[in-house]
């Protein structure tokens, strides 16, 4: 998605690069809750967890301040759009790896790991593929061949450089049914097992994930994914993890059972990751909304830390300067932990103060 700039009506009076480790989150006494970590990398080391961010590649290249904070704060990176199919193969057989390579190269220079996002999705597909399926020039047998080539080409290119792949993204709809995508409609449900097997063959060491939104609370999705995982395991399909996107909004209740849901998937032997965390609000920004946002971020990290199998907590962009939210949710925004000037919001401080329970 194209990042849009959200103008915050409230800014914290903190220099852009001075992210203090001593300011207490709203409603807490600063002396009593003095932070023992200086930044999110310190927090990651303290808790033995990966703290990550989605990466806007244009900003990575063009904005030194964005790049500086990204590399100082985070131990894990996800390309927001650069590894999606329309980005890497805009024309059939013509690959454009520059943006994806830039994310991987930046991570390697700065001691960060990478989540590959995403191999198979129903959105952001190249036009040559969708039009070919629509007009019948690409039939089921050829579509399966194309899908296999895509998965294996991309995974092989980054073999040994990607810690985990979102192999299949958003395979279940909001009613808990298999999403009616070109993959399901033309290849049947077996496309999921095929994709995981192809990815494992291309890079045996990468962790392989399912990933979706609203699995934090949507019972239909939860039940369907538990069933999918068990079916895959029964077929000896190499699935390693479940990704919870974590796109929340303060106008809705926090998903209070999230940690328990994580445990249900962990009980199946899966690694757990929070993969796309953000907490949007209806604009304009107010101090009260920022305080609620901070609480939601802290609760999400607390839930992750309470589950031994939860190994990653990634925010879907760390600054309101580059956020997908305003482009998708009319009148909403300010979803990130730093404002558009890279100044820390209460949510950032709340994360630093979060303790394992």
Cβ-count burial of 56 within 10 angstroms (0-12 exposed, 13-18 middle, 19+ buried)?
A: buried
Could you state, in order of their start, the residue ranges of all structural domains in the chain? 1-48+240-357, 75-210+226-239
Contacts of residue 245, Cβ cutoff 8 Å, sequence gap at least 6: 211, 212, 213, 214, 215, 274, 275, 276, 277, 316
Q: Identify the helix (H) or strand (E) that includes residue 69.
A: helix 64-73
Active-site entry in 276, 295, 312, 340: 276
Task: Judge whether 1-48+240-357 and 75-210+226-239 match in fold.
Answer: yes
Is residue 59 helix, strand or coil? helix
pLDDT in the model for residue 38:
95
Mean pLDDT by 10 residues, the chain (357 residues): 30 36 38 65 98 99 99 99 99 98 99 99 98 98 99 99 99 99 98 99 99 99 99 99 99 98 99 99 99 99 99 99 98 99 99 88
Nearest to 49 by CA among 353, 335, 316, 310: 310
- CATH fold of 75-210+226-239 reads TIM Barrel (3.20.20)
In sequence order, the β-bridge partners of residue 52 are 76, 314
pLDDT in the model for residue 37:
85
Nearest to 334 by CA among 343, 323, 348, 344: 323
Per the annotation, the verdict on 216 as an active-site residue is no
Per the annotation, the verdict on 276 as an active-site residue is yes
Active-site entry in 73, 89, 170, 216: 170
pTM here is: 0.90
pLDDT in the model for residue 356:
78
Residue 96 token pair = 């454009």
- CATH fold of 1-48+240-357 reads TIM Barrel (3.20.20)
What span, in angstroms and rounded, lies between the C-alpha atoms of 302 and 337? Answer: 16
């Amino acid at each position: 998605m194209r990042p849009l700039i959200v103008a915050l009506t409230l800014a914290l009076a903190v220099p852009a690069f001075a992210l203090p480790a001593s300011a207490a989150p709203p409603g807490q006494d600063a002396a009593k809750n003095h932070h023992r970590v200086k930044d999110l990398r310190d927090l990651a080391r303290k808790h033995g967890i990966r703290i990550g961010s989605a990466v806007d590649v244009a900003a990575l290249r063009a904005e030194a301040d964005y790049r500086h904070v990204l590399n100082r704060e985070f131990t894990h990176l996800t390309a927001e759009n650069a590894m999606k199919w329309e980005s890497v193969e805009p024309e059939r057989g013509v690959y454009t790896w520059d943006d994806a390579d830039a994310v991987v190269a930046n991570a390697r220079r700065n001691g960060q790991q990478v989540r590959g996002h995403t191999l198979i999705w129903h959105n952001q597909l190249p036009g040559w593929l969708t039009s070919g399926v629509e007009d019948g020039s690409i039939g089921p047998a050829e579509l399966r061949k194309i899908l296999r080539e895509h998965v294996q080409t991309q995974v092989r290119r980054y073999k040994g450089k990607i810690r985990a792949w979102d192999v299949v993204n958003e395979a279940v709809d909001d009613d808990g049914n298999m999403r009616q995508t070109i993959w399901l409609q033309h290849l049947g449900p077996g496309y999921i097992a095929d994709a995981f097997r192809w990815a494992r063959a291309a890079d045996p060491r990468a962790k392989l994930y399912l990933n979706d939104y609203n699995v934090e609370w949507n019972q239909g999705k939860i039940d369907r994914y538990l069933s999918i995982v068990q079916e895959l395991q029964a077929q000896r399909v190499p699935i390693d993890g479940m990704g919870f996107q974590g796109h929340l909004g303060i106008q809705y209740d926090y998903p209070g059972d999230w940690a328990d849901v994580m445990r249900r998937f962990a009980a199946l032997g899966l690694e757990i990751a929070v993969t796309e965390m953000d907490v949007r609000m209806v604009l304009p920004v107010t101090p009260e909304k920022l305080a609620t946002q901070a609480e939601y971020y802290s609760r999400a990290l607390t839930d992750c830390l309470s589950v031994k199998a939860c190994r990653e907590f990634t925010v879907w962009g760390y600054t309101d300067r580059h956020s997908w939210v305003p482009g998708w949710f009319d009148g909403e925004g300010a979803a990130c932990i730093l404002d558009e000037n890279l100044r820390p919001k209460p949510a950032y401080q709340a994360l630093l103060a979060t303790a394992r329970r």
